[in-house]
Amino acid sequence: MEDTIVVASRKPTAVLDDELSDEQIEQLLARATARLQEKSKQTQLIQKNESHSYTFPKLDAGALEKPYVTTKGDIATVDSSRLLKEKLRKQAEGIRKVEDPVTSKKALEEQKKATAGPQWFDLPKTNLTPELKRDLQLIKMRGVLDPHRHYKKDGGKMQAPEYSQVGTIIEGPTEYFSGRLENKKRKRTFVEEVLEKERETGRFKKKYGDVQTGKTSGKKAFYNQLKDKRKGGVKKGSG
């Protein structure tokens, strides 16, 4: 009788759901170790803070001001001399001047109009004196002063500027010989300078004589002057 060998194949059993693998167990152990280390650090930090000692500086308020009110028993007294300064007390007890707001506003506007403003260097209002009026008239007729200079014609009457100021031009050191006016020729006004120049040149007197000669040309006076010249003499008082 032959022996019969029976080979039975056995399938591997599946891992149950409630069993953990080695990899999962290692992850859990690593998490627990990390939590223990974190807790240990927090414990050390708390112990370090508890062992640290704080020192507070001493506060010195200095000399405190004496109070205005003092109490003696049931009676409280006030030091009136310390309630107000002496200057403020005199102002409060004195007479105060109350200004009318309309009047003060009007005065302020007039004060602003007294000058041309900071944009024009606070030029004051023109003080039209007789001397300044003559100077302004002379400036308006400046075209007749020098025949070699020509100015733009300015028609109409002379009008003084609303804001102006009179000053003296001071020559620089480089104009000592070219633009300097000698002291004996320097006058107070333009009119005085023009009259002084006329005494030296006699230009206006000559011009006036030429104009009068032209006006009397062809008249009896002009004819009489010609007769006197032909006779070899000039009539006394003529010319």
d(CA 57, CA 62): 15
C-alpha distances out from residue 176 to 12, 171, 173, Å: 128, 7, 5
- Tokens standing for 36? 């223990």
Radius of gyration (Cα) for the chain, nearest Å?
58
pLDDT along the chain (239 residues), means of 10: 42 50 84 86 74 70 80 84 78 79 86 85 89 85 77 76 84 72 74 78 78 70 76 55
pLDDT at 50: 65
pTM over 0.85: no
- Tokens standing for 175? 């104009």
pLDDT at 198: 76
pLDDT at 206: 80
Which segments of 3-130 are extended strands (E)? 69-72, 75-78
Judged by DSSP in three states, 107 sits in helix
pLDDT at 11: 42
d(CA 140, CA 151): 10
